[in-house]
Structures are given as structure tokens and as C-alpha cells.
Amino acid sequence: MDLFQGDKPANPKALSVTQLVRRMKNLLEIELGEQWVEGEVSNLRKQASGHWYFSLKDERAQISCAMFGARRKKGATDLEDGAKVRVFAEPSVYEARGQLQIIVSKVERAGVGELQAKFEALKKKLDAEGLFSPARKKEIPVFPKVVGIITSGTGAAIKDIVNVLERRAPWVQPVLLPVRVQGKGAEREIVAAIRQLGAAEGETPKCDVMIVGRGGGSLEDLWNFNEEIVARAIADCPVPVISAVGHEIDFTIADFVSDMRAPTPSAAAELAVPDGEELKMRLAVLKRRLLRRVGERVERLGLLLENAKRGVLSKGGERLLREPAMRVDQLRSRLISAVRADWRDRGVQLSSLKRSLEAQRPECQIEQRLELIRRMRLELGRAATHQFIERRDSLKRLGSLLRTLGPESAFERGFSIATTPDGKVIRSEGDVLEGGKLITKLKDGEIHSERMPEE
């Protein structure tokens, strides 16, 4: 009699496969319920029905996922192969195949919550230090001559900024320091560029104002502008800084610490320089106003003179008024000459600005950059050759040292090395048992021997 069988029937009733799978499904759905699960998306399949299927995996495991009516689900656009995501899902079993899966109802990028918390903590820290205080912010110059630009050299942001500068203020010289604005280590490039333009050393022109930014993106894409080293570099920069990171709804730490925040890169360019057409219209208005006032003044003086001639000075007064009349004529001529000279000077200034703009044409700038690249390439080649020679000489010294300290040197001096057949060096008598095999390595070969029993 089997003592472990107890009162169980000899032939218990068996479950059908459907019953077993259904019990497993009910157990998972009831006991676990909906959970947040984090992993990497793979094998994403988007069906015409609107249902999406994919796998979620980590280093040790993976699980099948289904998202029904995915286009209407929150965060579905974050799903793409290789993306790190968090899904809110219910564990279940696909009965037809007995396959474990999870039914996804919500998706969000992994780490977004952590980044937001990190953002708020750094914002609070720098605000407490006074880096956001309006009292420390520098004024943006009204008529800058050189505008520094720190952004990607190939993105849409630089095109927008340059287009606005050329349209509003063609006399301004833009100075671009291209940097990476996304990805690991990009913040160090941004900091180096800010310091270089702020110091204005060597061939770097002295900037009157600086634009730092990039186009729009997600919180992760813009994160380099939330790094503390970027914020402190902007705060320490002696040149006024306009931040232009992302779109109008995007805010970064760089926006809070900079001297002025622009909602977009194009808006930053508009804030950095005045509108040339507007200045021309203002000058035209001032010209008309000045000429009108001068004409009115001359007319009033002429009337006074005529009245004086017809009054008490009509008899013999002409002689008394002769010199004052001449002075009036001289003043009139001087005033007209001064106005004309002023406009000539302004014309000369305008011509000078046009010549300066011509010198800053992209063709000239490209030629200067190419010449700089050629010099840098030559210097790089010389440095590489120097490094190669040093490494080669070092390798020779190390090879010589290795030969001196290696076993070949010992062999040359008449020494030998005894090892077991498996290559283990014999250091003492106890390393070899009676009857054990020995290999003695010499300069020109090996001697195989066997330890004899002691008599």
C-alpha cells in the first residue's frame, strides 16, 4: 500500500487542454493584474486592422505583446524596434496556442520620469544659487556687428538663423561653431564652443552676442541643454547669450540661465539683430522731419528779416541789416551743407557696410575655412608622423627589454626550465611524483625524462 497516496482516487479526472489553458489565463489575469513592464521593443508588426504585435525583451528574457487598436492608444508612436519603453499591460494567455503574452494599453518612453525628476532637481539647485536671477543677466546689444552661433552645422536651426540674419541685418557677421546637439558627450562640445566664443582668442572674432540652441525634439533629444556644465558655461560667459532650444513649448535649463530666451532659433535671430528695413524707414522719417524743421526755421528768419526791413529800419535800416542778412545767408548755407555732408557720410557708411557684407559672402568664408582645414590637416599629419615614430621607438625598446627579461635570455646564459607535460613549471622537488614525466627546455631543444623511484 502506498502511504503517500492517501484517500485520492486511483484514477483522478483529467483536465482538457482548453480547461488547463483557461485556468492558467484566469490565474494570471486575477493574481497579477495590470502591471508596468519595461524592456526593449523588437519584431514590431503593424497590422492593417490597427492591431500591433511585438516582443518586449531584456538581457535574460522576452515576452510577446499585443496592442489592440494601437493607433488610438496613448504613446503608441513611441513603439519602434530597438526603443526602450515602459508598457502598462495585463498578462494573459493566447488560448489557441497556449502562448503567454501581455495585452498593452499604454506606452511611454523608458526613463522619461527619471529625466524629469533630474531636471527639476537641477533647476531648483541652480535657482537657489541665483543663476536664474534677472539681476545677473546681461543686456542684449541693440546694434551687434558679430553674432556667434553654436548649433549643429547641418540642421534646420542654422539655416533658419542665417536666413533671418541675412534678411534683417545683412551687415552683421555670423560666426558659426558647429557642434553636436544630441547624444552622449555633446554637452562637452557645446561648453567648449561657448568658452571659445566667449574668450575670442586667436582667429576667433570677438562676438557682441551669442545664440546657443537647436531645433525641436523629445526630452531625451534636448537633454544635453539640461546638463549642469552647459548651464554654468552660459552663466560664466562674458558675452550675452540668447538660448534657442527646441520649440516654443520646450523649456531647458539653458533657457533659464541664459540672458534671453527665444521660443525658436528663428526668433533668436530676430531678437539678436534689428530689422534693417525698419531702420531705413525710420531714417527716412527723420530726414523728412529734419528738412521740414530746417525749412520752417529758415522761413521764420526770412519773415523776421522782411518785417524788420519794412518797420523802423525801412529808412536807412538796410545798411544796419546788411551784416545780419549775410550771417543768415551763411548760416543757411552752412546748415544746408551740414545736412548734405551728413547724408554723404551716411552714404559712405552704407557703402562700407556693403563692402563688408561682400567680404563675408559664403564663398569667401568657405575659402577661409578650406585654408584653415588645409593647415590643420598638415599639422595633423605632422603630429601623426611624430606619434608614429615615438610609438615605433617605444615598441623597439619594449621588444629589446622583453628579449632581455624573457626565457630566451636565460637559455642563452646556460639555464634551462623544467616543466610537466601540461606546461606547468616545476619549482620544487615535490611538484613531480615518482614516475612523473619531465620536460627540460634548453636553448636548442627539449629533453624528456622521468623521475626514478628513490632506492
Q: Is the pLDDT of residue 453 over 90?
A: no
CA distance 367 to 192: 24
> Which neighbouring-strand residues pair with 104?
89
Give, in order, the Cα–Cα distances in Å from 140 to each of 134, 208, 226, 374.
13, 8, 23, 36
CB 273: neighbour CB atoms within 10 A? 25
Report yes or no: 151 and 213 within 8 Å, Cβ to Cβ. Answer: yes
Domain locations in the chain as residue ranges? 17-110, 114-274, 277-359, 412-450
Q: What is the pLDDT of residues 149-174, one digit of tens each?
A: 999 988 888 999 999 999 999 999 99
Q: Look at domain 17-110 and name its CATH class.
A: mainly beta
Per-residue confidence (pLDDT) for residue 417, from 0 to 100: 81
CATH 3.40.50.2000 at 114-274, yes or no: no
Residue 3 pLDDT: 47
d(CA 26, CA 91): 10
pLDDT band for 84, please (50, 70, 90 cuts).
confident
What is the pLDDT averaged over residues 348-360? 80
For 387-440, how does the pLDDT look when each residue is reduced to its tens digit (9 = 90+)?
Answer: 999 999 888 888 888 777 766 677 777 677 888 888 788 888 777 777 778 888
CB 77 within 8 A of CB 52: no
pLDDT tens per residue, range 408-418: 677 777 677 88
Does this model's pTM top 0.85?
A: no
